[in-house]
Amino acid sequence: MSLELRGISSGYGASMVLHDISLAVAPGEIVTLIGANGAGKSSLAKTISGLLPAIGGTIVWDGERIDRLSTAERLRRGIAHVPEGRQVFAGMTVAENLAMGATIRRGGRAASGVMDEIHALFPILAPRMGDIAGNFSGGQQQMLAIARGLMSSPRLLILDEPSLGLAPLLIAEIFQLIATLRQRGISVLLAEQNARAALSIADRGAVIENGRLVMQGAAHALLHAPGIAERYLGVGVASAVDPAASGRMAERLRACVWNDG
Amino acid sequence: MTQFIQIIIGGIQQGSIYALLALGFSLVYRVTGVINLAQGAFCTLGALTAYSLETSVGLPPLLAALGAILATTALAAVAGRALFVPGLARLTNSNMLMMTAGLLTLFEGLVLVIWGSQPYAMPPFSGEKPWRVAGLLLPTQGVWVFGVTLAIIVALGWMLARTRLGQSLRACSENPTAARLMGVDVPRMQLFAFALAGAIGAAAGVVVAPAIALQFDTGRLLTISGFIAVAIGGIASFPGAIAGGLLLGLVGQLATAYVSSLFSNALALGLLLIVLVWRPSGLIRAKLARRSDVRDEARVWMHVSRLPSAMAWRGGGLLICLGLAAPFLLGQALLGALIITLILFIALIGQDVLMGYGGQISLGQAGFMAIGGYTAAYLATEHAWAPIAGVVAGMGLSVACAIVLAAVTLRLRGLYMALATLAFGLLIDSCAIGFDDITGGPSGMVGIPDFSVAGFAFATPMRMYFLVLALVVLIFVAVAGAMRSGFGRALQAIRTDPLAAAALGVNVVGCKMAAFALSATLASLAGSLYAFQFHFLSPDMVGTPRSLELVSMLVIGGEGTLIGPLLGAAVLTILPTVFQPLAIYKTLASGALLAGCSLYLPQGMFGLIVRLLPGQKRPIAA
């Protein structure tokens, strides 16, 4: 079950957002897309799930071209997309939200065992099945959105900014969860601004800048690549090369503050 | 006491129908975010089809009713597939509103062509004799109406809450993008909601038909009542729609019984205005459901076509030459039509300032025509004022009303603004009928003198024509200038984004008020000229149907451009005069034009002309 993008271009109306993107996700692999706000991560996610039509290039899934198929058809073939900003059905209950996730399954029911698995992965959801999803906190809604994405038993889960607007503790929890998905044989394509956290759980990473793929490689290699560290990990050039640099910077800052006061 | 309970029973019967109508509105709105003004037309179509199936085909009543509901649903599905659903992907919400207004007109035209304009009376299902229960008289049809309403509410509630289909519909209404990601075919759900609303409308029409006199424009009245009901109750919730319907029915019946039947409408509208101002989202709020994509924002941005200035000057010169020569070339009938076109154009320029430039949907423009027309006519006939003084007085009164309306509705935008202006127009309608000492009531006001200035009477069509032409040129030049000034730019900024405009220092409140006042002044002037032109004025000449017609002209011509409305007014006024023998198709044709234009020519005829001119680059689709 591998996904292969070959020279994908896409955009909204006359304005092109993605240019000639080629990327592959192997079975059971976590690949992370990193890039600044507006670089095209979400557009790429939408293009793969079919919310946004590809203008050029092909998408091959499991040996079959899927770039002309509808979202529902792609979902049937095992590609689920958990969109940016969670997008739960706010006025519906947790149970109904989960049921919507299984819309494309025959009879609208999740495959047997999926529900148990979801309860095991997301213990917070079980006691709240009858609650209205809109009353949940951001982190709970994100859990629900991921759970909903898993209801159709996908083999590739596209996660768009799952850490958006969440507290650090919750972010850690979500990333841990993503790592466990791999053990269940689900491939993950993770679009993230929080590059450090994403790269730390991913097998491979790809960097998008202005709609073009500028670099891809093993996650640990990207984590230490100087250009990446400076631009996406919030570390200056000096500190990326020399681990003691940030300590010296902190020392200087402290001196400034205390001398002033 | 018995009498009071009797009135309540009547109110519940009336309210049940409003509730059914409101339910149809709410269903379509929740799934698509659009108010479907054609809702009432489904009732007329359903009822008349049932009538024909029963009397002409000879089906038993129950079968005829079922057949009618099926036929109407099928028609709704076709209209939905061809116009409504494709429109959702391409049009702004205000253009969608116009499209449904077009559908309403289209269906009305269809009824006119098939069943003619005479009223139909249908026999009650279970005989005329009311049931007598504990000293109370229950009209049997009322029991039917209530029963069917209850059955539909229960069935719809069950479908939405318990079935997979209902769940998918609710998912679409909560969050269309997420629904698509779940594999829901969103356009199909939108079509389904539209057709289901058609079925509900048809069922409502079939049961209510025996209780009312039915004719081609009943649908329009039902649409308006349902619209008001749903606005009072809260459009985003089904219980709200039902409660709003019942409340409106009760208020109407109580007002008719204890105040006056002439003012029952006015009271209902007063209620609506109060609700709109006090609690714009309706008395009953939706459970939670802040729509995650705010549908009041445009899905699509409007592109306004403009002529290059050299061509505009030449075109303008040509138009003026044509205008000067026209009366010598045209016959009497066409000259009359041309005068009407120009008078309506004056009102349309006002409408365009408000709607095309300011982005405030106004469905009450004819209300200001009525104020201007009746004031000038009343002062001229009863108090022998000089016509020009009457016209000025009418303008003053209109501006005062406009400022009050604008002040009251300042917080409202988009849909709610449309509703408030509609309510205002209807209020003026019912005043025009109610104050029969001044306005002559439903039969109208006769013996209005010729327009005259300082003893010079504009008694012949020729004189009237040149008067109106001069006024049009004057107003056109003045407004065109104003729209290029800071005021025009501020208005357009407000249309695009009021918040951003305010942040740039635009006086949003002041500009809206000024646009309203300008628009009302022009409408008022047009109304006065209209009265002097016909020497007669009746409520249906300057009522809400006229407001809707003005909006059609604006959309067909091309809103946001000053000359566009002239094209729209000319098409809808002159063509029917030329094709007099085909007059019965007029409504059908204008409905088809409006619905088609809003889908295929969102920039109107003017946009089409600009695009077809040589040397024009096609605007890049956004």
Q: Would the CB atoms of B288 and A51 count as touching at under 8 Å?
A: no
ipTM of the complex: 0.83
- Residue A184 clears pLDDT 90, i.e. is over it: no
What pLDDT does B296 receive? 41
Least-confidence region, from A163-177, B263-277, B372-386, B441-455: B263-277
More confident residue, B521 or B588: B521
Mean pLDDT of chain B: 84
- Residue B300 clears pLDDT 50, i.e. is over it: no
Distance CA B555, CA A2 (A): 51
- Residue A170 clears pLDDT 80, i.e. is over it: yes
What pLDDT does A250 receive? 66
Q: Would the CB atoms of B287 and A72 count as touching at under 8 Å?
A: no
**What pTM, to 2 d.p., does this model score?**
0.82
Residue spans of beta strands (DSSP E) within A120-248 = 156-160, 187-192, 204-209, 212-218
**Mean pLDDT, residues A9-27 taken together:** 89
What pLDDT does B298 receive? 42
What pLDDT does B290 receive? 42
- A126 contact B CB<8A: no
Return the structure tokens found at A169. 């503790």
DSSP string, A71-130: HHHHHHTTEEEE-TT----TTSBHHHHHHHHTTTSGGG-PPTTHHHHHHHH-TTTGGGTT
More confident residue, B272 or B305: B272
CA distances from B174 to A89, B233, B247 (A): 6, 19, 27
Q: What φ, ψ does residue B285 adopt, rounded to 5°?
A: -85, 150
Mutation to test the A interface, candidates B162, B163, B182, most A Cβ within 10 Å: B182
Distance CA A198, CA A77 (A): 26
**Mean pLDDT, residues B132-153 taken together:** 85
- A100 contact B CB<8A: yes
Q: Would the CB atoms of B288 and A14 count as touching at under 8 Å?
A: no
CA distance A195 to chain B (A): 25
Q: Which of B174, B183, B620 sits opposite A89 (nearest CB)?
A: B174
Question: How many residues would you count in chain A?
Answer: 261
Q: Would the CB atoms of A104 and B182 count as touching at under 8 Å?
A: yes
Mutation to test the A interface, candidates B181, B293, B618, most A Cβ within 10 Å: B181
Would you say B90 and A13 are in contact if contact means Cβ atoms under 8 Å apart? no
Which of B124-133, B261-270, B276-285, B427-436 is most confident?
B427-436
What pLDDT does B52 receive? 93
Q: What φ, ψ does residue A247 adopt, rounded to 5°?
A: -65, -40
CA distance B109 to chain A (A): 37
Which pLDDT tens digit goes with each residue over B321-351?
888 888 888 888 888 889 999 999 999 999 9
Q: Would the CB atoms of A108 and B164 count as touching at under 8 Å?
A: yes
What pLDDT does B453 receive? 82
Q: Cα-atom radius of gyration of chain A, to the nearest Å?
A: 20
Q: Which amino acid is at A105?
A: R
CATH of A27-51+71-205, one of 2.20.70.10, 1.10.230.10, 3.40.50.300, 3.30.420.40: 3.40.50.300
Residue A190: strand pairing partners: A32, A159
Pairing of strands B452-453, A64-65: unpaired
pLDDT interval class at B187 (50, 70, 90): very high
Question: How many CA atoms, within 13 angstroms, populate the side-chain half-sphere of residue A48?
Answer: 33
Q: B61-79 and B186-208 are packed helices; what angle lies between their axes, rounded to 10 degrees? A: 140
Set of chain B residues whose Cβ sits within 8 Å of the Cβ of A99: 164, 167
Reference B106, options B600, B596, B604, B583; nearest CA is: B596
Instruction: Note the maximum CA span of chain B.
Output: 81
CA distance A14 to chain B (A): 6
Planar angle of CA B516, B521, B526, nearest 5 degrees: 125
What pLDDT does B43 receive? 94
Which pLDDT tens digit goes with each residue over A30-88?
999 998 888 899 999 999 999 999 999 999 999 999 999 999 999 999 999 999 888 89
- Token look-up 């439903």 returns B442
CA distance A101 to chain B (A): 5
Which pLDDT tens digit goes with each residue over B245-258?
999 899 888 888 88
Strand, coil or helix: B133: strand
What pLDDT does B118 receive? 86
Q: Which amino acid is at B40?
A: G
Q: Where are the domains of chain B?
A: 13-218, 339-551
Pairing of strands A156-160, A187-192: parallel
- Token look-up 């898993």 returns A150
- Token look-up 């993770």 returns A190
Which of A106-120, B180-194, B240-254, B266-280 is most confident?
B180-194
Distance CA B505, CA B508 (A): 9
Would you say B598 and B555 are in contact if contact means Cβ atoms under 8 Å apart? yes
CA distance B181 to chain A (A): 6
Set of chain B residues whose Cβ sits within 8 Å of the Cβ of A14: 620-622
What pLDDT does B299 receive? 40
What pLDDT does A241 receive? 58
Least-confidence region, from B275-289, B365-379, B385-399, B479-493: B275-289
Q: Where are the domains of chain A?
A: 27-51+71-205
Give the containing element (helix H, strand E) for B446.
strand B445-446
- Residue A189 clears pLDDT 70, i.e. is over it: yes
What pLDDT does A258 receive? 62
Return the structure tokens found at B192. 């389904």
Chain A: residue whose CA lies nearest to B180: A71
What pLDDT does B602 receive? 73
**Mean pLDDT, residues B153-161 taken together:** 91
Non-local CB neighbours of B209 within 8 Å, separated by 6+ positions: B47, B50, B51, B120, B122
What pLDDT does A260 receive? 47
Would you say A150 and A157 are in contact if contact means Cβ atoms under 8 Å apart? yes
More confident residue, A236 or B241: B241
Chain B: residue whose CA lies nearest to A77: B183
**Mean pLDDT, residues A160-168 taken together:** 88
Strand, coil or helix: B116: coil
Distance CA B120, CA B111 (A): 12
- Residue B518 clears pLDDT 60, i.e. is over it: yes
Would you say B349 and B483 are in contact if contact means Cβ atoms under 8 Å apart? no
Distance between first and last Cα of chain A: 62
More confident residue, A186 or B413: A186
